């Protein structure tokens, strides 16, 4: 296991002084309900937000708060953490109850582990090491000075306000599945469309997916 972790350290160009922190970064609650990566994930999310906010403030001095917020939202989210996780092959190092079996690890678990890794680096050696890691892997996305990455829900909302002077209408259709892996089904419509529905493992993702489908329907 430690040999594998050395491979991860080489990939991210960071060597943990306290290996116990590294192990905890990668432990999912299904493996250990008490000593897992949830608190490190909480910490890492805040560290990531701070570093990205600071960098955007420096990179785009002419942006107003609204533009900075949109850019921030495109960089600090579960999907972007998942992209970074794929780049560093983080999935192969995550420790779950099904370790050793050929099971697919959920995207949420992978992206959460990325935030935990950031929290772990911060706890291990502080803010500068965290900043170096974040800027190394988020750098090219920071410098994409466009808003093609605006999320679907925001895009649909802006369109609806512009054309109909009102917000899209969202409706929760169902909430099924076990507590640890719920499935939400949500529908959305505009003033001149029918409801379009989609699912997700939380309400936010389900709304995003439904908005994306509706945008495709109205060819936006």
* Active site positions, annotated: 45, 115
Contacts of 159 (CB under 8 A, 6+ apart): 190, 215, 218, 220
Give backbone dihedrals phi and psi of 190, rounded to 5 degrees, phi first: -105, 180
Structure tokens that stand for 97 in this block: 């109850």
- Name the H helices within the chain: 2-12, 19-25, 38-59, 65-75, 78-87, 107-125, 127-142, 152-164, 203-217
Distances (CA, A) of 111 to 40, 43, 78, 146, 195: 13, 14, 6, 24, 30
Sign of CA dihedral 126, 127, 132, 136: positive
């Amino acid at each position: 296991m430690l040999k594998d972790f050395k491979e991860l350290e080489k990939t991210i160009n960071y060597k943990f002084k306290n290996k116990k922190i590294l192990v905890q970064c990668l432990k999912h609650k299904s493996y250990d309900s008490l000593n897992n990566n949830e608190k490190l994930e909480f910490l890492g999310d805040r560290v990531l937000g701070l570093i990205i906010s600071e960098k955007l403030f420096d990179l785009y001095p002419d942006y107003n708060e609204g533009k900075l917020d949109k850019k921030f939202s495109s960089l600090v989210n579960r999907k972007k953490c998942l992209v970074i996780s794929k780049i560093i092959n983080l999935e192969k190092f995550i420790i779950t109850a099904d370790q050793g079996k050929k099971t697919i690890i959920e995207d949420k678990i992978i992206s959460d582990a990325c935030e935990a890794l950031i929290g772990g680096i911060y706890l291990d050696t502080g803010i500068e090491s965290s900043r170096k890691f974040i800027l190394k892997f988020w750098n090219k996305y920071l410098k994409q000075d466009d808003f093609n990455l605006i999320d679907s829900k925001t895009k649909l909302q802006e369109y609806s306000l512009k054309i109909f002077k009102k917000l899209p209408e969202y409706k929760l259709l169902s909430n099924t599945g076990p507590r640890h892996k719920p499935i939400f089904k949500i529908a959305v419509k505009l003033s001149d469309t029918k409801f379009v529905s989609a699912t997700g493992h939380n309400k936010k993702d389900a709304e995003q997916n439904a908005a994306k489908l509706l945008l495709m329907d109205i060819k936006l």
